[in-house]
């Protein structure tokens, strides 16, 4: 099967299997989304949602995050893992948003990646889910693993994987494509022992036995 047709078939089958694929993080505005995504680094979405439920009641504005003492904020997010670095980045990001962006979370890739703790993955998630902008493809651990297993990319670096995917995935679904791979990565194509026998892609996957 030609690569272009194979990638289209992957998208079609995953869309059927996971019609409700979407972001699992809970948020109500761009700032909450940005904070949640920073917290989600090397941490499950379920844990992040447990942390942010009380966090978003305590901190409701950029000013709240910008003015909190680091030690207090570390305590608030301690169960997220790597909480010291995340606390430092979130507070610094809030200050930069307040001082440079008029208190509003930026809506461009170039601006977002200037924020502490924000690289392309986080920026892509915020742009797509908060502003409906598809500037790239968010590559997390699931997307990276499945891209390699499905033969969509031979690279291991997330930025290079993203570039490979952007060449073969239609731009109109860049934002949603990540969530199709994430859902499949959680349900079937798991890290240690993929369930190839029940996989809807097993006949077009180069990694299938």
- Name the DSSP class of 160: H
Among this protein's residues, is 64 annotated catalytic?
no
Among this protein's residues, is 121 annotated catalytic?
yes
Q: What secondary structure, in 3-state letters, does 162-192 show?
A: HHHHHHHCCHHHHHHHHHHHHHHHHHCCCCC
Could you tell me if 129 and 153 are in contact, meaning their C-beta atoms sit under 8 angstroms apart? no
DSSP track, 41-83: TTS-HHHHHHHHHHHHHH--SHHHHHHS-HHHHHHHTGGGSSH
Candidate list 76, 86, 121, 135, residue with the active-site label: 121
Distance CA(73)–CA(101), nearest Å, equals: 23
Candidate list 76, 135, 140, 164, residue with the active-site label: 140
User: Is the sign of the CA dihedral 122, 41, 45, 182 positive or negative?
Assistant: positive
Distance CA(17)–CA(103), nearest Å, equals: 40
Instruction: Report the catalytic residues.
Output: 121, 140
């Amino acid at each position: 099967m030609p690569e272009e047709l194979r990638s289209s078939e992957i998208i079609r089958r995953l869309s059927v299997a996971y019609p409700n694929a979407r972001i699992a993080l809970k948020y109500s505005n761009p700032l909450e989304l940005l904070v949640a995504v920073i917290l989600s680094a090397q941490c499950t979405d379920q844990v992040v949602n447990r942390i942010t439920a009380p966090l978003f009641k305590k901190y409701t504005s950029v000013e709240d995050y910008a003015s909190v003492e680091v030690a207090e904020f570390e305590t608030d997010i301690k169960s997220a893992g790597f909480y010291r670095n995340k606390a430092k980045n979130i507070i610094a990001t809030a200050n930069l948003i307040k001082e440079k962006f008029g208190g509003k979370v930026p809506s461009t890739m170039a601006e977002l990646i200037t924020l502490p703790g924000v690289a392309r993955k986080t920026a892509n998630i915020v742009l797509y889910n908060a502003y409906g902008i598809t500037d790239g493809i968010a590559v997390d651990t699931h997307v990276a693993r499945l891209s390699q297993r499905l033969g969509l990319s031979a690279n291991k670096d997330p930025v290079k994987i993203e570039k490979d995917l952007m060449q073969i995935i239609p731009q109109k679904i860049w934002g949603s494509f990540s969530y199709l791979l994430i859902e499949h990565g959680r349900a079937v194509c798991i890290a240690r022992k993929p369930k190839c026998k029940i996989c809807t892609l097993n006949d077009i996957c180069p990694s299938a036995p």
